[in-house]
Amino acid sequence: MTLAFIFPGQGSQAVGMGADLAEAFAAAREVFQEVDDALGQHLSKLMREGPIEDLTLTENTQPALMAVSLAVIRTLEKEFGVGIDKAAFVAGHSLGEYSALAAAGAIGLSDTARLLKLRGQAMQRAVPVGQGAMASLIGPKTDVALAEAAAKEGSSVGVCVVANDNNAGNVVISGAKAAVDKAIEAAKALGTRAIPLNVSAPFHCPLMQPAADEMAEALAAVTIAAPRAPLVANVTARPTLDPEAIRRMLVEQVTGRVRWRESMEWLAAEDGGAVTRFAEAGAGKVLTGMVKRIAPDAEGVALNAPADLEAFAASL
């Protein structure tokens, strides 16, 4: 068995996430306290009690999801003796890439929390509310080629690109609102469903360049070490251990495409990572569902609750 840890991104948040881990394990409580201290806010209380409207604010969602992921990893290490070195690779979806790097020891937990708080704020600042949009193209006909064709139609009136290539049947486009609206109509004409997403900004498109510039400045001041397991990066869908390449790709990721389908295909391929088991560390089961669609021969397991961690550790 070859194992990869994968880390969820925005959309997996829910009020109460991580609460059972904190109740059961001191290691999880320590993670939440360190994140609270780093940010100077009671983020763990917001995660536990809500309201969901505040938790869903990008500047809160990003460090909160990372905190849950790191609570899972620290608990596995300290309570069950399962370290990140059990994994051949790590990967994370968008903000999950920061979780992956923190889990693999490349960036300190406090630094990661502060970076994600800033990332959320910078993304929100980059485009005034209402001027950008994102849409999910869903259906059996949906693939990246169809999404690119729809985005090309939209780009005749403004910025519009493929933002997330999640899996066959699920591709997200992003850009200026008028351009995304036009791309939605084009996608429907091409025979797929197009659902506008309730997001506060058009992530992973060129309109996010001001946020990328902010992140470049912030990341330049942060120590990045070689991760203890290779990171399969969003922007390349290939592994790296090089701290300077990681620093550069975290900046590129703000405006670039999340190449998740390609990343999972490479990880599962015999001439790639040869991964046979994917463990999703953190809130929800979104990535586990994607694994089943992208690599049906591989096993996907979501590590959310104390019983999940206990069963996973026993299975190794």
Please, which residues have CB within 8 angstroms of residue 216's CB and are 6 or more apart in sequence? 251
Distance of alpha carbon 172 from alpha carbon 147, whole angstroms = 8
Six-digit token pair at 77? 């290490």
Identify whether 44 is a catalytic site residue. no
Six-digit token pair at 1? 């068995």
Six-digit token pair at 24? 């059961």
Residue among 94, 136, 200, 263 flagged as catalytic: 94
Cβ(68)–Cβ(282) below 8 Å = yes
Identify whether 94 is a catalytic site residue. yes
Which of these, 124, 143, 94, 141, lies nearest to 250 by C-alpha position?
94
Which of these, 34, 103, 47, 110, lies nearest to 74 by C-alpha position?
103
Residue among 93, 136, 174, 204 flagged as catalytic: 204
Residue reference for tokens 């999910």: 136
Please, which residues have CB within 8 angstroms of residue 92's CB and are 6 or more apart in sequence? 6, 7, 8, 9, 69, 98, 99, 100, 101, 234
Active-site residue numbers?
Answer: 94, 204
